[in-house]
Amino acid sequence: MTTAAKAEYKALTNEEAEALVKNLGLISETELSVSEIGDGNLNLVFKVTGVNESVIVKQALPYAKVVGESWPLTLDRARIESDALIHAAKYVPHLVPKVLYTDSILAVTIMEDLSSHTIARKGLIESNAYALLARDIGIFAARTAFYTSDFYLHPFEKKRLVQSFSNPELCKITEDLVFTDPFFDHETNDFPEELRPDVEQLWSDAELCREAGLLKYQFLTQAEVLLHGDLHTGSIFVKEDSTKVIDPEFAFFGPLGFDIGQFIANIALNYLSQHHHSQEPFNRKETQDKLLKTIEETWKTFENEFSRLFREESTEPFAGTDGVLENLLEKTFTDAIGFAGCEIIRRTIGLAHVADLDSISCSDVQHYLKRKALKLGASLIKTRSSVTTIEQFTSRVRGA
């Protein structure tokens, strides 16, 4: 009697990634080429190309590439990522790459090649505008949230999904890097000495640290909806007529305002960076105005679409009660402003920065803008309850 070889994880070489695609028949051509194109910190990304066809093979590594093998990280995140993409495709098929194959032992997802698109962060740094971005992200966040909420799902199905998207190791990264370390003198922080007085001011601000702690507590405890969990502008592909959300390996059930908060924070950071990237004053104003419009339209789309689904498709009897939706949206908005503040601070002084600010070669300008970011982030966290409309948020960004 023969026993089938036990399937085991191994990190793929270029040749093995190519062979996998060929053996699965995902590309019918025989002459293929392959390159590793990942720019991320945690995973390998191979592009396998024929003459007319191409696919992307994403494989999780058992450790964080940025730190090395000393930081082990669960391979289960590859299963979570492909499950989240497949789940999102039920509600927003036009906004995610098609998943062609998954293998949870190899920690591989093979998906549609989106090379015709540009990573939003890159395009925005080049001062390009994307007319669909706000609407598409608002729709993405509203639909993926509503259809995984208790307003829509049977309580058994909701709890089954919460279990299946349990993602403790990736959540811990967010809990540490977004909500904890930037508010303490922690070794993961990363900022130039010139900013030390500004950073020490944050660390000694008792009100700020308390409010950041309360936001962290919400992130830890509120399993409201299935989130993307890492919805910054590096997780979004754009072109003029299309938007695609990628990289949901941080997906888990968390507070409804988190994805939107993270997204608008990254647009706000790009807004600040335009002081440098958009050199000519007239263009700069136009670019920055469009960014603030993007923030406003994202929230409004999210609010309208979530409200429409809530009214038309809720199965929960209390959804019909006056004020439930209004209360939920008010709380979600306040949370989103607070989460945005945390994201702005962590991207400025924490472990993973954004190229929007870090690519500014003149260090005086870079530090000047980072100081503005820190002040903006801190004030959003502390006074989030008094920001009651998205226009008040964008005027805070404008005034920063």
Tell me which residues touch Mg ion (CB under 5 A): 39-40, 234, 247, 249
The size of the interface with ligand ADP (CB under 6 A), counted in residues, is 21
Of the candidates 173, 317, 316, 341, the one whose C-alpha atom is nearest the C-alpha of residue 257 is 341
CA 102/CA 249 separation, integer angstroms: 14
Report how far apart the first and last C-alpha atoms of the chain are (Å, whole number): 72
Q: Which does 119 bind (CB under 5 to 8 A by kind): Mg ion, ligand ADP, none?
A: ligand ADP
Six-digit token string for 378: 């801190």
248 is in an annotated binding site: yes
Q: Quick one: 86 exposed, middle or buried, by C-beta within 10 A (0-12, 13-18, 19+)? A: middle
Amino acid at 295: I
Q: Tell the smallest beta-carbon distance from residue 73 to Mg ion (Å).
A: 11
Q: Of Mg ion, ligand ADP, none, which one does residue 73 interact with (CB within 5 to 8 Å by kind)?
A: none
* Triad 67, 38, 64: Cα angle to 5°: 20
Q: Supply the DSSP symbol for 75.
A: T
Q: Which stretch binds ligand ADP (CB under 6 A): 109-117, 207-215, 217-225, 381-389?
A: 109-117
244-303: contacts with ligand ADP (CB under 6 A): 246-247, 249
Q: What are phi and psi for residue 63, nearest 5 degrees?
A: -150, 165
Q: Distance (Å, rounded) from C-alpha 248 to C-alpha 83?
A: 9
Distance of closest approach, residue 38 Cβ to Mg ion, in angstroms: 7
- Residue 40 contacts ligand ADP per CB under 6 A: yes
Is 281 annotated as belonging to a binding site? Answer: no
Answer with the entry of Mg ion, ligand ADP, none that 97 interacts with (C-beta below 5 to 8 A by kind).
ligand ADP
> In what order do the strands lie in the sheet containing 54-60?
33-36, 43-49, 54-60, 108-112, 99-103
Strand partners, 43: 60
The SS3 call for residue 60 is strand
Picked from ligand ADP, Mg ion, none, the partner binding residue 114 (CB below 5 to 8 A depending on kind) is ligand ADP
Contact map string, positions 49 to 68, toward ligand ADP, x by CB under 6 A: -------x-x----------
How many residues appear in the chain? Answer: 400
Q: Has 58 been labeled as part of a binding site?
A: yes
Contact residue for ligand ADP among 114, 125, 137, 212 (CB under 6 A): 114
Count CB atoms within 10 A of the CB of residue 170: 21
Q: Of these partners, Mg ion, ligand ADP, none, which one is at the site of residue 108 (CB under 5 to 8 Å by kind)?
A: none
- C-beta of 119: minimal distance to ligand ADP in Å? 5
Cα–Cα distance measured from residue 339 to residue 310, given in angstroms and rounded to the nearest whole number: 23
Q: How far apart are CA 42 and CA 18, in angstroms?
A: 20
327: helix, strand or coil: helix
- Interaction of residue 83 with ligand ADP, rule CB under 6 A: no
Q: Which among ligand ADP, Mg ion, none contacts residue 50 (Cβ within 5 to 8 A by kind)? A: none
Q: Which residue has the tokens 């991207």?
A: 347
Cβ nearer to ligand ADP, comparing 42 with 161:
42
Helices 324-349 & 258-277 angle (0-180, nearest 10): 40
Q: Is 249 annotated as ligand-binding?
A: yes
- Minimum Å distance from CB 139 to ligand ADP? 20
Residue nearest to ligand ADP (CB): 40
Smallest gap, in angstroms, from Cβ of residue 89 to ligand ADP? 13
To Mg ion, the closest distance from the beta carbon of 156 in angstroms equals 31
Known binding positions for ATP: 43, 58, 112-114, 247-249
Please give the annotated binding residues, written as ranges.
43, 58, 112-114, 230, 247-249, 346
Known binding-site positions for substrate: 230, 346
Interface with ligand ADP (CB under 6 A):
37-43, 45, 56, 58, 97, 111-115, 119, 235, 246-247, 249
